[in-house]
Amino acid sequence: MSNDLFSSLKTYLTKLSDGEKTPQEVAAALNAWARESADTLKAKIHDEVEATVLKMGFVKREEFDRLVARVDAIAPAKAAKAAKAAKNAAPAKAAKAAKKKSGVKK
């Protein structure tokens, strides 16, 4: 990256000294180059961090939040289903118990 900087500076200084560019144009070009370089560096750092995090087995916060939302959506449905099953099982158990009692008395 430092070679790119020196190369760019040399090119712009040559254009400035040859009269091809004004100092303002050189400054604007160098500012644009610096912004592009910073964006490129940020992207490389982001990609490297993401690859390292994946290798370590971590998940992103938004993935975790989506999973929590899915579990929360499933949990009430399962609880309602279990409650319904328990409610339906209670009369059946009572009927079985009543049958056993009446069978024992006879």
Report the run of H or E that residue 21 belongs to, with start and end. Answer: none
Structural domain boundaries of the chain?
1-58, 59-106
Tokens found for residue 10: 């040399």
Nearest to 1 by CA among 42, 49, 48, 47: 42
Residue 60 φ/ψ, nearest 5 degrees: -75, 155
pTM of the model: 0.44
pLDDT (tens place) for every residue of the chain, 106 residues total: 556 777 877 887 888 778 887 888 888 888 888 899 899 999 999 999 999 988 999 988 999 999 999 998 888 777 777 777 777 776 665 666 666 666 555 4
Q: How far apart are CA 81 and CA 16, in angstroms?
A: 78
Q: Report the distance separating Cα 8 and Cα 14, nearest Å.
A: 10
